[in-house]
Amino acid sequence: MAQTTPNHTQTVSGWAAQEPGGKITPFIFKRRENGVDDVTIKILYCGMCHTDLHHLRNDWGITMYPLVPGHEITGEITKVGSNVSGFKVGDRVGVGCLAASCLECEYCKDSQENYCDKVQFVYNGIFWDGSITYGGYSQMLVADKRYVVHVPENLAMDAAAPLLCAGVTVFCPMKDNNMLDSPGKKLGVVGLGGLGHVAIKFGKAFGLHVTVISTSPSKEKEARQHLGADDFLLSTNPKHMLAGKRTLDFIIDTVSANHSLGPLLELLQVKGTLVLVGAPENPVQLPSFPLIFGKRTVKGSMIGGIKETQEMLDLCGKHNITCDVEVIKPDQINEAMNRLAKNDVKYRFVIDIGGNGKSSEPQKISNANL
């Protein structure tokens, strides 16, 4: 049943699943009036993330239906509240995973609101007014100004959309581990999908030596020729893995299928770090010897704060980085979900919500963003 919160008076067309694993079909619902701290966004594009699929199927047992997924949102501002500065009507903006947080805890105060204990997500969350949040598979969004970022003028809005989740997810661990300003350091990227392909682009933009580690031999050509990776290790080939021993400074592991971290840790130099950003359902295998014998570290990381998201987008503007996307129409969402479940996409589906068609050709570069 659709919610009824008093000031939720704006009627919005979107796409929702009504039950676990159900088809995503057109859905009319209500959003709140644009408050003093809000901006209203005409959604142009929304990326399809693996998280959407997990929520759709209720894999984590926390989905509230009807579910309007989508947290890789780009669009144009159509209204701003009276307390809003820094955004105006017509601005090109993005909204990622976050809808609200407590604003008071040490993490919120430190621009790490993604780690706030009370963080609420842009869909399947509970907003400050008690309403359930509905995401970007819809034509319009009302968002609090604190969770909105600017999209640089030179980035195409469809190809920029997945940066709001996939991009910032790989950007933050790279930043935290000083990879943005350490040209020549050696980065390993495990898994070549939505997250992995952006990690390669960042790595190359920041002057790193990038090695892709994958179970699929067919991805070598793509990784090297199309994405510019310097090296490729087939993780099922013991010779490859032996040759790569102690060669990397830092590894981003994007794989959500079950796997052991042991062979990956062996690729790290002494004191190297591996960051998990994929989320395997079962506990990962973490053998102690490669940790102890190399003084290595294993960490996790989840998306990023809003300040970091803006920083990431500004750097993407500077280096002209966007995602490789396949743009679909809203009536192709279910087909795309099925393909997403099989990892049959290069590298992200993006829904053309605004009906603009594909706009991946970068627009004229504006000096303001350089």
| Chain residues in the site for Zn ion (CB under 5 A) | 49, 51, 101-102, 105, 108, 116, 165
Check if the beta carbon of residue 304 is closer than 8 Å to that of residue 166.
no
Least separation, in Å, of the C-beta of 165 and Zn ion? 3
* Amino acid, single-letter form, for residue 158: D
Least separation, in Å, of the C-beta of 113 and Zn ion? 6
Q: Give whichever of 165 and 251 is closer to Zn ion, judged by the CB atom.
A: 165
Distance CA 155, CA 166 (A): 16
Q: Give whichever of 80 and 190 is closer to Zn ion, judged by the CB atom.
A: 190
Least separation, in Å, of the C-beta of 118 and Zn ion? 6
Least separation, in Å, of the C-beta of 370 and Zn ion? 28
Least separation, in Å, of the C-beta of 328 and Zn ion? 17
Q: Give whichever of 264 and 340 is closer to Zn ion, judged by the CB atom.
A: 340
231-234 and 209-214: which strand pairing? parallel
Least separation, in Å, of the C-beta of 117 and Zn ion? 6
Give the number of residues written for the chain: 370
Q: Give whichever of 157 and 165 is closer to Zn ion, judged by the CB atom.
A: 165
Q: Give whichever of 167 and 203 is closer to Zn ion, judged by the CB atom.
A: 167
* Amino acid, single-letter form, for residue 134: Y
Q: How many CB atoms lie within 10 A of CB 361?
A: 7
* Three-class SS of the chain: CCCCCCCCCEEEEEEEECCCCCCEEEEEEEECCCCCCEEEEEEEEEEECHHHHHHHCCCCCCCCCCECCCCCEEEEEEEECCCCCCCCCCCEEEECCEEECCCCCHHHHCCCHHHCCCCEECCCCECCCCCECCCCCECEEEEEHHHCEECCCCCCHHHHHHHHCHHHHHHHHHHHCCCCCCCCCEEEEECCCHHHHHHHHHHHHCCCEEEEEECCCCHHHHHHHHCCCCEEEECCCHHHHHHCCCCEEEEEECCCCCCECHHHHHCEEEEEEEEECCCCCCCCECCHHHHHCCCCEEEECCCCCHHHHHHHHHHHHHHCCCCCEEEECHHHHHHHHHHHHCCCCCCEEEEECCCCCCCCCCCCCCHHHC
Least separation, in Å, of the C-beta of 167 and Zn ion? 10
Distance CA 8, CA 14 (A): 15
Q: Give whichever of 105 and 241 is closer to Zn ion, judged by the CB atom.
A: 105
Least separation, in Å, of the C-beta of 32 and Zn ion? 21
Residue whose token pair is 């952006």: 198
Least separation, in Å, of the C-beta of 108 and Zn ion? 3
Q: Give whichever of 116 and 142 is closer to Zn ion, judged by the CB atom.
A: 116
Q: Give whichever of 55 and 296 is closer to Zn ion, judged by the CB atom.
A: 55
Q: Give whichever of 17 and 265 is closer to Zn ion, judged by the CB atom.
A: 17
Q: Give whichever of 121 and 232 is closer to Zn ion, judged by the CB atom.
A: 121
Least separation, in Å, of the C-beta of 278 and Zn ion? 11
